[in-house]
């Protein structure tokens, strides 16, 4: 679920031209996290890694929110910085 269309996400990854790999533990220390109090939401900016580059220029933007004891995660954007 989220604001980004799955086909757009696939297109950006394909155009980037590198293979995304599982995140190393240190990736989570590099994540930027902001609490949006008015919406009781976390916005998360997570750097991605590729096989070819290690840490890449790709950043995944996510939002997390708890509604009725259920966690909702949205994919907002995938940016090349």
Better pLDDT: 80 or 43: 43
Q: Quick one: pLDDT at residue 35? A: 96
* Per-residue pLDDT tens digits for 16-54: 899 999 999 989 999 999 999 999 999 999 999 999 999
CB within 8 Å of 22: residues ≥ 6 apart = 49
Q: Is 39 domain-assigned? A: yes
Q: Is 49 domain-assigned? A: yes
Q: Is 1 domain-assigned? A: no
Tell me the C-alpha distance between 79 and 59, whole Å.
5
Q: Is 57 domain-assigned? A: yes
Q: Is 12 domain-assigned? A: yes
Domain total of the chain: 1
Q: Is 38 domain-assigned? A: yes
Q: Is 61 domain-assigned? A: yes
Residue 6 pLDDT > 90: no
Q: What Cα–Cα distance (Å) separates residue 53 from each residue in 48, 57, 71?
A: 10, 9, 32
Residue 71 belongs to what domain range?
Answer: 6-19+32-80
Better pLDDT: 47 or 4: 47
């Amino acid at each position: 679920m989220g604001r980004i269309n799955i086909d757009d996400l696939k297109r950006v990854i394909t155009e980037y031209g590198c293979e995304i790999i599982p995140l190393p533990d240190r990736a989570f220390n590099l994540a930027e996290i902001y609490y949006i109090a008015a919406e009781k939401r976390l916005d998360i900016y997570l750097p991605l890694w590729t096989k070819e580059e290690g840490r890449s220029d790709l950043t995944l933007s996510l939002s997390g929110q708890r509604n009725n004891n259920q966690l909702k995660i949205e994919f907002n954007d995938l940016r090349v910085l």
